[in-house]
Structure 1
């Protein structure tokens, strides 16, 4: 919690993104690295999206959820990486106040969408493994559309109030965001307003939204693993576990980076550590999702090969 400064200015018209300007000798190598990563993220997730859209064999709930996850991953990385690439190559590191708040809103909203959708995917795997006889009824087209729409709704609506409060803060100490994008904690560190209410809301959202998503996913997997262990044949256990191994891997990576980033008070903020975990969160998850979900997925690989043969 901060003390309000004697003279509080209105919101600034622009911020300056520090980025990686403290390491000028590696600007070009960092630019090339992030450009290659961004291209792989877009191409990998586009391949997933188009393969599922064009292959009738993949028009099942699990793949519909995966298709939406690929849309979120492309949008998520596109909110941060193109702006960072522009800063690295042009050295133009200014961002308007509105642009900063827009980037923050999209970042937090899309992150919320991803958590919700991963929770829905955990529920899908729970029904498929623990209650297979009712899977078709419980995961019909209407219910799937409702689950996907709800995931987007909660993500975009929950973030709105949070970002509005941050936009109402006064920034009179400095205009330099010592990060490579507009994130919650660096903005709170810059403000000379009392940020107590915003910090409380951050932890409330973290508890009610993110932690509940984590808890629901954890409960789903407790039931899933319990059911798999009751399967008599080794082949049956391996087949059942393979249907949720990819999702479980992505969930573990996502929540580990998230908890390291945000589940702590702003007083313990460490710039270098948070930059590292932010990079893992923004780059690693969208990059690995296409690889994790497709490399050992025989159904997807067969559908993709069929499409390639049709193209040729």
Structure 2
């Protein structure tokens, strides 16, 4: 942060974020596009929220508008639990009350981000605790039964999440590359093969909306280009058993037979790691309690956490 940036008239450089002064955002927007935007002033463009950690270790959350003006907030380093921040730029169409309201809203977002980051940091430290101590002390102490159990649980959870992300990101990036080469493509039919070490994904057949073949992607094709090999390399990260795979549950056009192997390219290309925030099984216990997952098993096409009255399969609970 630099001190020579302009600030809107009437907006002080700090001191607006003491917890005793400002409560949580509570103003509801009549035309908010998302519930989490409640409290964001209507006079401003929708926020573009980001966060980073400064060289001093301070976590800073900021939002920018289309002209590049931005607001930042951070927790004070004095242990008071209060927040500080400033607004830089003109923020066209906004008055002092709008800026203050935006800062209050952003402080609420900062609290959510900070809590999530601390949880991630804690999990990472617990996984690496023994290794960190061994590096620091030059001594590898024997592990207790509890430490081994903790290692299994923490690394197991991390490994499962990593596997899911690798599968979905690989399918998404492959879909983007396919669509860039074939704008009329709609589906990719996953092709599997087997060898001594088991079954694997060998490639895909790309089809249009009428299921006519546009292109085949196989790395062992004599005419395969580098682009083809790159797509196949990504597809090989997918589980060859779609009945239990992450990619099929997220992107397949159906729940059995050939449809289970058929990926919706637009859906796959649109996937983002941010989507995982809305998975019922990754939300807080309180959030999970509000929705019970479908008991129809992996063949159900309804999203996980769908209420029974909304389930297209007519599942019972």
Q: With structure 2 as the length reference, what TM-score do the two structures score?
A: 0.24
Of structures 1 and 2, the one scoring higher in RCO (CA 8 A, sep 6+) is: 1
Query: Which of the pair is proportionally richer in strand?
Result: 2
Larger Rg: 2
